Amino acid sequence: MNPTRPFELGVYTFGNTPRTPDSTGATAQAIRNALEAVQLADDVGLDFFGFGEHHTRSMPVSSPTSLVNAAAASTRRIKLGTTVTVLSTDEPIRVFQQLATAAAIAPGRIDIVAGRGSSPITFPIFDEDENDYDMLFGSKLDLLVEMNCHEQVTWNGPHRRRPLQDMLVVPRPEQPLRIWLGTGGSPGSVMRAAELRLPMFLGILGGSPDHWAQYGHAYRKAWAEAGHPAEEADIAVAVHGFVGENGREAKVTYLEHEARMFQTGSAEIGRPMKTPAGRENDLEPGGMVFAGSADEVTDRILHLHERLGHSRQIFQMDVGGLPHDSFLKGIELLGSQVLPQIQRELG
């Protein structure tokens, strides 16, 4: 790990459709709420805000690059990115152009997390074969990395019918976009990130700090074996979590809404997705759901950092129809009470 790299704290969202008797237009409100949240995160000094990709009524952020551009124009300092772009079913040239446009608006503040996707729902939407998902992701990721390095691109890969010959890709950001490889812990993805010299972004729903530390060790070992400079290896994590003024109430509130998220999401994608067993234990030390008071959440972050050595941790707080005011309050507490403690401990 690189002890001189500053630690970054932030938030991410897939959108959180308000639970109302009349849901007409509620998905549009979820988009407006996400932009209000990123502006508050900027105001309270958080380091990063990410927009994920889902295609469901309850989590309607289906075009994260659009929201990155909107946030780039309405914020001052916070870093922004997709968390994740489901690259297997997207067009990498357009993804790069859209985020390069955001980088022109907000220089040095734009990231992309590219992932294969956690559910099969996007493949029929975009007329792709789910059986090709690994080929599609690998080929499109290679092209995305190539465009990030070169203005004129000559490239061919299995996802394209025609090769690219000296193709101009504009606009160009003043500095390359930071491309992270997103994974839920697939060993193959861990190795791919190291081989491609990309930082690794872990999407975490459960487990323990010691469990995820094994992935950090495997990534850094593969990184070293590939001959890359050790100080460039980097890891970020996205977790479920929520900060409240009362730790016990924060845990109860979050557990209730997270269970609703799992139940609703399961029905929307037509796939069984139960709340993980013993979820209450995941909210305590040794678990990977970071809900509680500011002091509790701070201690948990520091404990994970000691094991994993990650440089960025972001929280999905707005789950299962959590009231928007509660989400905003959680962001305020994360920035005003958790972040200062982290900065004192880690610099």
- What confidence tens digit (pLDDT) does each residue in 216-264 have? 999 999 999 999 999 999 999 999 999 999 999 999 999 999 999 999 9
pLDDT band with cut points at 50, 70 and 90 for residue 119: confident
- Under a CB-based contact definition with an 8 Å cutoff, are residues 316 and 331 in contact? no
Residue 1 has pLDDT above 70, yes or no: no
Distance CA 266, CA 129 (A): 21
pLDDT at residue 3 greater than cutoff 90: no
Give bridge partners of residue 290 from the DSSP assignment: 241
pLDDT computed for residue 111 by the predictor: 97
Strand-pair category, 164-168 with 312-316: unpaired
What does the pLDDT look like over 38-49, one tens digit per residue?
A: 999 999 999 999
Residue 11 to residue 241: CA distance in whole angstroms: 9
Amino acid at 183: T
Structural domains of the chain ordered from first start: 8-346 (3.20.20.30)
Query: Contact, 237 vs 202, CB < 8 A?
Result: yes
Give 20-75 pLDDT, tens digit per residue. Answer: 766 557 999 999 999 999 999 999 999 999 999 999 999 999 999 999 999 999 99
Amino acid at 74: S
pLDDT of residue 98: 98
pLDDT value for 121: 86
What is the mean predicted confidence (pLDDT) over 130-138?
Answer: 93
Q: Using alpha carbons only, how large is the chain's radius of gyration in Å?
A: 19
